[in-house]
Structure 1
Amino acid sequence: MLVKGFIMLAALSALSGTGSSACTDGVARQYACKLLNLANSGRIVLWKKHPSGVRDNAYAYNNVRDTCNGKAAARSHYKCAECPNPGAPGGYVCLQGTLLRYIYAVYRKLGYIHVNEIAGACHSCKSKHYLGRAVDLHNPPGQSSTMLSLCKSMGGWGQNEGNHVHCEF
């Protein structure tokens, strides 16, 4: 009975995204590890905060770290003006490999990148961030057109939102 209970618990953990085998996208893991190494060496910035000031485990750095380790990325869980009801959904999501490959491609093109948000923070209620398919990148002067054209060339859709560029797949 104990073995059967353990198997059921492991299956529930994998379904909820909290198990270590929850995410099996090898491309996502490969690019997440590349990005994590760049962040740890100071060549890119993966934010460890949210613009809202809310504190949780869903920062861009943590999203990338967890994906590199084969785990699902945490999503924030709070209400905001963009999504007052029900708010950011919380829970976990597997980040898409194409998304992480895009972030890495922007770094390669520009030589530097500042990732504001991936699956964390509060966005519009139907945001692709909550599906692990969107990123917000800091928008340095004169760089948005490069980020947007790269997003489009890789099959995504993006827009300049002033202080950041949003790209989703």
Structure 2
Amino acid sequence: MQQQSYAHLKSMLWASPAARAHAVISGAVVPDVRGLLDKADARGWDCLWRGALTPEKAAQAPYLVELNPEGAFTDWLLQECSSTYPGWGVIGLGPVNLMTMREHGRRLLDVTLPDGQRRRWTWHDPALWAPLLPKLDPQQLDAAYGPLTDWVMVGPKVWQWLSLSAGQLVVTPRECLPVANA
């Protein structure tokens, strides 16, 4: 696997002219994510959980943020947060606005179990999402990707792209050079 600089990997998130990058960040993993988002230079953000939340639930909720390619918050999330808070969430890539991505993310929050019961699940946990996607059939993949072309799992050493191309899942790990060498 060829090592690539952080700047190169980051630029790949916006490789397509129509690309937009949306991060889903878990409040259960990143402390005070809502406070961080209030100050972030992001293009917009919203909670994936519907309705009014108690402060305790709001602190645990997943948040969707449209990343700014030149933003300090984006660099913090992709570099520092990936090291400090592994498993913080995932990035979805595609030509969609924040509202469309929010509705897609909310559709993914509930699953139906074999016994017919509906449960909320933490699909945005990369430890769950990355191994699940390769096991899905084409119809399930279409539902998981919705309007997106890629899911990206950002780690301190490896960024993993899970791309949907012509109905096929393509998994591409990309090793990131240490920041000092990048």
TM-score by length of structure 1 reads: 0.25
In terms of fraction of residues, the more strand-rich structure is 2
* RCO higher in structure (CA 8 A, sep ≥6): 2
